[in-house]
Amino acid sequence: MKILVLGSGAREHAIIKALLAEEAGHQIIAAPGNIGIAGDVTVVGIDQENPSIVRDFARDEGVDLVVIGPEAPLVAGVADKLRAARIPVFGPNRSAAALEGSKSYAKRIMDEAGVPTGRAVRAETVEDAIAALDEYGAPYVVKADGLAAGKGVLVTTERDAAIEHATYWLGYGGVLVEEFLEGPEVSLFFVTDGETVYPLSPAQDYKRLLDADAGPNTGGMGAYSPLPWLDERFGGEDLFVDEVLKTIAIPVVQQMAAEKNPFSGLLYAGLILTERGIRVIEFNARFGDPETQVVLPRLVTPLSALLFGAATGTLAQQPKPAFAEASAVTVVLASENYPEKPVTGRPITGLDQTVAVDGVHLVHAATADVDGGLVATGGRVLNVVALGTTFTEARARAYDAIGRIQLEGGQYRTDIAARVAD
């Protein structure tokens, strides 16, 4: 197949590596891609958020499938434009991407579909917000209602900070005040064509910047998959996944179809496993980053068949996703001062040393070639991904590899997957 992948991050690099690993031998183009992706496939500098430009490019190139990685092109209506031109596209239309972009839309869909989530109140004024904060009590959870580039959620025990956050985001639309949910977090992805829903294997993301979950929230500092501790609680990963499929993913997909706003693409369920049961904390309309980097290397059935099946309404005819037993760990290397104000432009060296470590590969997020040398151009710079037969082995490999990379002021967590290693 000729496949166009939109996006420029580590997630897209992971998607491309999974497509390249298939026996079929696809022709892949990335737009705009990044310097790491350019080492693997052709990259083109078209504007991924301009629906007409993407459509015209896909048509002129005779592309069989367009895969949309990030949310920005979804929100810009790129999938809508491609669908109107009958070009197969993996990713929901703009109105269905509201499941990610609008927290209140997601809450309404969950309400209608009977999906378990935290209680929440949408506040329009500071007085409403304070009343809701006092009703639920500490710890406080305040969420911007629209897309906020990962900065919209505050979880805090300080009432004043919660009020300040609510006041700030009220200036950009509404905010949601939510009850605090306690328990381990799980990211679970579903591929769907709007009717058939196939689950992938669960992963755990590390959202806080620092070890032991200290520091500010980030886009994600590392991840691992699968989650062996699900066995004890649910009697196995399959039983857990099946419960989420039946009580969360299928009801949401059916509800959206019934409302004539079908969701096709990647449904990402962010879950908290509370003592009272599984609760949804958020949906995303795209693959998660960095979770994709540990889920896709374990996928043994062809990714392209899943994406194409979702894009063409033929998912039920495609093989169900199956996963290798392997343990996968990814560690993110971030720039100094990430996430506040990342320092960019610094050289990165030692990448060639990581190939000496078994079971390791790199995916790039924010790197560029300047005068023949690699430099960091953003907050999350690259990921080391390691596979092993055990988490102890995968973790040792990941940290061996990341230790060989030099970036002045670079930061990474040292406790990724520690809880599942011996």
| Cβ nearer to ligand AMP, comparing 215 with 350 | 215
Distance, CA of 4 to CA of 90 (rounded, Å): 10
**Secondary structure of residue 22 in the 3-state scheme:** coil
Give the nearest distance from C-beta 154 to ligand AMP in angstroms.
8
Q: Rank residues 11 and 81 by Cβ distance to ligand AMP and give the closer one.
A: 11
CB of 97 to ligand GLY, least distance (A): 13
Nearer to ligand GLY, 152 or 220 (CB): 220
Q: Name residues whose C-beta falls within 8 Å of residue 193's C-beta, 6 or more positions apart in sequence.
A: 264, 309, 310, 311, 312, 313, 314, 315, 316
Instruction: Name the binder of 291 from ligand AMP, ligand GLY, none, CB < 5-8 A by kind.
Output: ligand GLY
Beta strands in 236-343 (DSSP E): 265-274, 277-284, 327-334
Contacts of residue 152, Cβ cutoff 8 Å, sequence gap at least 6: 143, 144, 146, 169
Would you count residue 91 as binding ligand GLY (CB under 6 A)? no
- The reply on whether position 100 binds ligand GLY by CB under 6 A is no
Strand partners, 278: 273
Q: Choose the one of ligand GLY, ligand AMP, none that binds residue 288, judging by a C-beta under 5 to 8 angstroms depending on kind.
A: ligand GLY
- The SS3 assignment for 290 reads coil
> How many H helices and E strands in the chain?
15, 24
220 binds, among ligand AMP, ligand GLY, none (CB under 5 to 8 A by kind): ligand GLY
CA dihedral (330, 334, 340, 346) in degrees, to 10, reads -170
Which member of 204, 255, 264, 284 binds ligand GLY (CB under 6 A)? 284
Subset of 186-205 contacting ligand GLY (CB under 6 A): 205
Q: Is 220 in the site for ligand GLY (CB under 6 A)?
A: yes
Q: Closest CB to ligand AMP among 213 and 238?
A: 213
Cα atoms in the 13 Å half-sphere on the side-chain side of 201: 26
| Nearest distance, CB of residue 288 and ligand GLY, angstroms | 3
Cβ contact 77:55 at 8 Å? no
Options 110-118, 153-161, 285-293, 363-371: segment touching ligand GLY (CB under 6 A):
285-293
Say which residue the tokens 């002045």 belong to: 408
Q: Name which position in 289, 311, 357, 412 contacts ligand GLY (CB under 6 A).
A: 289
Contact residues for ligand AMP, defined by CB under 6 A: 118, 141, 153, 155, 178, 180-181, 185, 207, 217, 270, 281-282
What value, to the nearest 5°, has the Cα angle with vertex 202 and ends 201 and 203?
125
Nearest-approach distance from CB 174 to ligand GLY, in angstroms? 21
CA-to-CA dists, residue 336 to 167, 180, 222, 363, 414, angstroms = 29, 31, 17, 19, 16
Helix (H) or strand (E) holding 3: strand 2-7
Closest by CA to 395, choosing from 363, 360, 364, is 360
| Min separation Cβ 133 and ligand AMP, Å | 13
Contact partner at residue 193 from ligand AMP, ligand GLY, none, CB < 5 to 8 Å by partner kind: none
Tell me what percent of the chain is helix, strand and coil, each rounded to the nearest 5: 35, 30, 35
Minimum distance of ligand GLY from residue 413's CB (angstroms): 14
Identify what 335 binds: ligand GLY, ligand AMP, none; CB under 5 to 8 Å per kind. none
Q: How far is the CB of 148 from ligand AMP (least distance, A)?
A: 8
- Collect all residues with Cβ–Cβ distance below 8 Å to 368 and sequence separation of at least 6: 34, 35, 374, 375, 377
Give yes or no for residue 291 binding ligand GLY (CB under 6 A): yes
User: 106 or 362: whose CB is closer to ligand AMP?
Assistant: 106
DSSP state letters, 188-240: EEEEESSS-EEE---BEE--EEEGGGEEEE-S-SEEEES-TTHHHHHSSHHHH
What is the closest distance, in whole angstroms, from the C-beta atom of residue 211 to ligand GLY in the complex?
A: 18
CB of 48 to ligand GLY, least distance (A): 17
Site for ligand GLY in 345-384 (CB under 6 A): none
Using CB under 6 A as the binding criterion, the count of chain residues that bind ligand GLY stands at 6
Sites of contact with ligand GLY (CB under 6 A): 205, 220, 284, 288-289, 291
